[in-house]
Amino acid sequence: MTAAEVDDFIFRIFPQIWADDKRSYTIEALTPGGARVRMHYAERHLRPGGTISGPAMMALCDLAMWVVVLGHIGPLEDAVTTNLNINFLRRPAKKDLIGDARLLKLGKRLAVGDVTVYSEGEDAPVAHTSLSYAVPVAK
């Protein structure tokens, strides 16, 4: 699937992802073995201290990994996350976040990858996540 096809598919089955009539996320790239997803900055992502909350970063990582998996296996609705491990590295700025996903394995049953998260325009990552997805059996 192309980035546009993944985008259409996700929008169709998961309309909640676009909050307040605006896109929360944009798929910026989908390549063999990788994807880049941008989470647009929004007030509702904040936590105490004025930084972006952990669950907002986790949601970005989960989505970026889903984009990579869908891009490689096609529009299967029941790919589900089985494990997510996140290390929080630095307090993110009040900016868009970029999630760079890398597919480490695409097996018959499990897909595994990691996502490195950056604040827009900065070099030092704010979070790093490893994820496993149960891959549905194609019919």
By the criterion CB under 8 A, which residues form the site for a copy of itself? 13-14, 16, 44, 46-49, 53-56, 58-59, 62, 77-78, 80-90, 104-105, 109-110, 112, 114, 116, 124-125, 128, 130, 132, 134
Q: Is the CB of 40 or the CB of 128 nearer to a copy of itself?
A: 128
Separation in Å, CA 28 to CA 78, 101, 113: 24, 11, 18
Q: How far is the CB of 129 from a copy of itself (least distance, A)?
A: 9
Q: DSSP secondary-structure letter at 30? A: E
**CB of 128 vs a copy of itself, minimal distance in Å:** 5
| Cβ proximity to a copy of itself, 94 vs 109, nearer residue | 109
Query: Which residue lies nearer to a copy of itself by CB, 3 or 66?
Result: 66
- Least gap, CB of 88 to a copy of itself (angstroms): 6
Q: Quick one: 46 or 95, whose CB is closer to a copy of itself?
A: 46
- State the SS3 of 42-73: CHHHECCCCCECHHHHHHHHHHHHHHHHHHHH
Give the closest residue to 35 by CA, choosing from 94, 111, 88, 107: 111
Place of tokens 């259409």: 8
What φ, ψ does residue 138 adopt, rounded to 5°? Answer: -65, 140
Quote the least distance from Cβ 34 to a copy of itself, whole Å.
Answer: 14
